[in-house]
Structure 1
Amino acid sequence: MPMQVPDEVFTRRPWHELPPALAVVLRPRMDAIATHMVDVIRDEVPAYRRPLGSAFGRDLAGSVRRAIGQFVELTEEPHSRQEHHVRHFRTLGRLEFLNGRTTDALQAAFRVGARVGARLYAETVRSASLPLEVVMPLHEAVLTHINVLSNESVKGYAAAQALAEGGLQRSRRTLAACLLDQQRAARPDMVESLARQAQWPLPDAVACLLVRQGAGGGRPAGLGQERGADVLALTHGADLVLIVPDPESDGTVQRLRTAVRGRTAALGPTVPPRDAWVSLHCARLMLAGHTVTAAADGTAGGAFVRAGDGLAEAHLRHGIHIGRLLGDRTLGVLRDLPPGRAARLAETLDALLMSWSRTAPEVARALDIHPQTARKRLRRLEELFGDRLSDPAFRFEVLLALRTRALTVPRA
């Protein structure tokens, strides 16, 4: 793609009002003007106080000479092509970014150069006995010239910054994909290498936030969108996954809750980075059981659940089909009963297994029923299950089956 050159700026009125004779008297003085300009820039701009013999010093001197040379070219021929000069000053801006500097020092150097150039060019006009009317358009030409060069340098800086940030975001997406892959996450050498490329210091702990994509998609506002932010983001299937470092730090969970307000999201348990995929797995399992449209905290249009508060439920959901088979085997005797009676007995069996003393009064309190009613139900359970109620292994399997059954019953 050809470079866009601001010819309409370089060929505007200031240079048409300058006599070509000015270029003739400026050419032999270019080196002296450049030397003085470099000295003043180095004196007034601390970031540019580098030895002239260094690569930086040579680049500074070369850029100053090029700027003066271009000004003389435009004075001599306002319509001359400028692509090569524009390319140089965009490269100058790119080098400023690559060397870790901001545009502040560069802009300051341009301002100093304009001031020194305007003064020395005016002195040349007077010493060459050129008409003094030249001084006004000369000053305008200097300001126009330095403004264009400054703008082109900023464009080069911005282009380099965008390219670097694009590469950084790609590296972070690659790192996120690695952490969410069980096999690759188990290779510390790979994870550490990708983390260095992504400029993402590996934290002691992370948690995955799984966000159901809204109509507009994209990342929730306020979650790591700035350069250097600590949250990794990756689109995973139809969902957005955010890997959040140190999720237990003060205010982090509330910040996440606020950022996803109005969406359905699940925060996985806190784990070491190598187990980020486990955190995501738990969050996904928890969301599978939450089809509500309003959270208990009043979040309109969404829900925020914490998988870390329901690991047992997440574990059961992982093997929910096995849990159903277990229920068929252990609770099969309830199938021949009327649905209402079967449900009441299952409820009583659950209360019995969760009680400490396994007595009728304790079960009655748990179910908020009369003790005599509890005794009748317990006797019926003994008739149905017999000695198996005293077998710890059977009681464990029944409890798993009851918990799985509770997960599969439609929510009221």
Structure 2
Amino acid sequence: MSGPWSALPRGLAAELRREQQTIAVEIIGEIRKQVPEFSRPLAGQFGAGIQHGVETALAEFTELIEGARSENPERMRVYRALGRGELAEGRSLDALQAAYRLGARVAWRRYARVARRVGLGTEQLVVLAEAIFAHIDELAAASVQGYARAQADEAGALGRSRSHLLTLLARGGARAELETAADLADWPLPWELCAVALAPEAASRPSGGRRPGLPDLVLAELHGPEPWLVIPEPDLYLRDGQVRALLEARGAVIGPTVPPEQAGDSLRWARTLRARPPRTAEGPVDGETHLAALLLLADPALVRLIAARRLRPLDELTPKQRRRLGDTLLAWLQSDRGSAPDVAARLGIHPQTARQRLHQVQRIFGPALADADVRFELEIALRARDGEWDGPGESRGEG
């Protein structure tokens, strides 16, 4: 692509690149200082977007001078995303445009020092200034395009493309099919993602069809009978403040992290846990920590059959006795057939009480406890008992 940068000596690019890191720091500092809308801490997706945008713009400018920049249309995605992000924040483009102009001024000031140091003449300094501002105009135009696309998202082609992509992800589309749909939806297909199952909207607090200020790349179906999200790069986006607020407000269950082709599995597992949440659940439930529960929930009828057979020796006891001895047996199994003090520590009871219960367990189940397969099935049965996926975790009194 021709432009004023093509008239600059290519060797200038290497000199500018040496200053790139400190220039980026200075630009971000000035933006935070002088643009009120960007004065907050650069944390989460907001900070990552600004940081990435500045660093990418500086890197691309040196590539322009070298004549090495690719014409890959994907390169403008980061600036379109900044424009969409402004709409998601409920702002006009004024603040972002001000940040672009400020960044151009800082870059020009620093680049001019480098240019004088390497002996560029006055005419070439004028060309350098023209190149900087032409480059910024190109980036700003991409942000305007992203902002306009986001405005059309609610009822336009991009919204339909993303809805189609969500449908493909839910049903487990093939990689090639997902790549095509993601490209149409202007959504970079990540290496990993997770699905999140949400509670339906409360009738008393409907959103009126509005999408919360979520990061642009978080896909969402918030208003149907089974609302859900697709979170790309969960390590990054699950820390975003708007995402966390929505998860807290909507009884979220976060499915395990998987490749895009398994998004449907992650959603199925999240919805399974949401239908039968762990008894200790408070706030969003992370499916990564409940994989054993998902395995138990995969075939409840089989688990009930195992429980009926393996726990039959307890049938003659009272419900209170069954509970106590079942808890004791599970604690013994989970402590790798530990001693009475080990079991007592897990249950929060006196070691002598644990010893007495263990003697009862041994008397009731007898030699079967020496069989590894029996022990495995007993743990399945006891974990699944009453849907208490996490096993005993609190004292129920001694005796």
Q: Offset at 1:342?
A: 1.1
Q: Does 1:263 align with 2:250?
A: yes
Q: Offset at 1:309?
A: 2.1
Inter-partner Cα distance in structure 1 for 2:241 and 2:297: 26
Higher relative contact order (CA 8 A, sep 6+): 2
Secondary structure of 1:350 counterpart: helix
Given candidates 309, 323, 329, the residue that maps to 1:329 is 309
Counting only pairs closer than 5 Å after superposition, residues 245-264 of structure 1 correspond to structure 2 as 245-249=232-236, 252=239, 254-264=241-251
Secondary structure of 2:291 counterpart: helix
Inter-partner Cα distance in structure 2 for 1:291 and 1:353: 20
- Which residue does 1:230 correspond to in 2? 217
- Which residue does 1:55 correspond to in 2? none
Q: Does 1:207 align with 2:194?
A: yes
Q: Offset at 1:188?
A: 1.8
Q: Offset at 1:235?
A: 5.7
For structure 2, list consecutive stretches of 5 or more residues without a partner in the other structure.
Answer: 5-79, 84-92, 94-147, 395-399
TM-score (norm 1): 0.53
- Which residue does 1:173 correspond to in 2? 163
Inter-partner Cα distance in structure 1 for 2:155 and 2:224: 24
Secondary structure of 1:180 counterpart: helix
- Which residue does 1:344 correspond to in 2? 324
Distance change >3 Å, CA 237–CA 307, structure 1 → 2: same
The higher radius of gyration belongs to 1
Given candidates 290, 313, 318, the residue that maps to 2:293 is 313
* Count of aligned positions: 245
CA RMSD, aligned part only?
3.5
Q: Offset at 1:270?
A: 1.3
Q: Deviations for 1:15-39, whole angstroms, at most 9, x for unmatched residues?
A: xxxxxxxxxxxxxxxxxxxxxxxxx
Q: Offset at 1:328?
A: 0.3
Inter-partner Cα distance in structure 2 for 1:356 and 1:291: 23
Inter-partner Cα distance in structure 1 for 2:155 and 2:211: 20
Q: Offset at 1:374?
A: 2.2
Q: Offset at 1:256?
A: 1.5
Distance change >3 Å, CA 250–CA 167, structure 1 → 2: closer
Secondary structure of 2:267 counterpart: helix
Q: Offset at 1:385?
A: 1.2
Which stretches of structure 1, 4 residues or more, deviate above 4 A after TM superposition? 217-220
Distance change >3 Å, CA 253–CA 388, structure 1 → 2: farther
CA contact (8 A) 1:219 1:240 kept: no
- Which residue does 2:212 correspond to in 1? 221
Secondary structure of 1:248 counterpart: helix
Secondary structure of 1:364 counterpart: helix
Q: Offset at 1:165?
A: 6.4
- Which residue does 1:381 correspond to in 2? 361
One-letter code of the match for 2:160? R
Distance change >3 Å, CA 354–CA 162, structure 1 → 2: closer
Distance change >3 Å, CA 319–CA 236, structure 1 → 2: farther
Inter-partner Cα distance in structure 2 for 1:220 and 1:239: 16
Inter-partner Cα distance in structure 2 for 1:164 and 1:371: 63
CA contact (8 A) 2:231 2:237 kept: no
Secondary structure of 2:330 counterpart: helix
One-letter code of the match for 2:231? V
TM-score (norm 2): 0.54
Inter-partner Cα distance in structure 2 for 1:354 and 1:330: 17
Inter-partner Cα distance in structure 2 for 1:287 and 1:253: 22
Secondary structure of 2:368 counterpart: helix
CA contact (8 A) 1:210 1:267 kept: yes
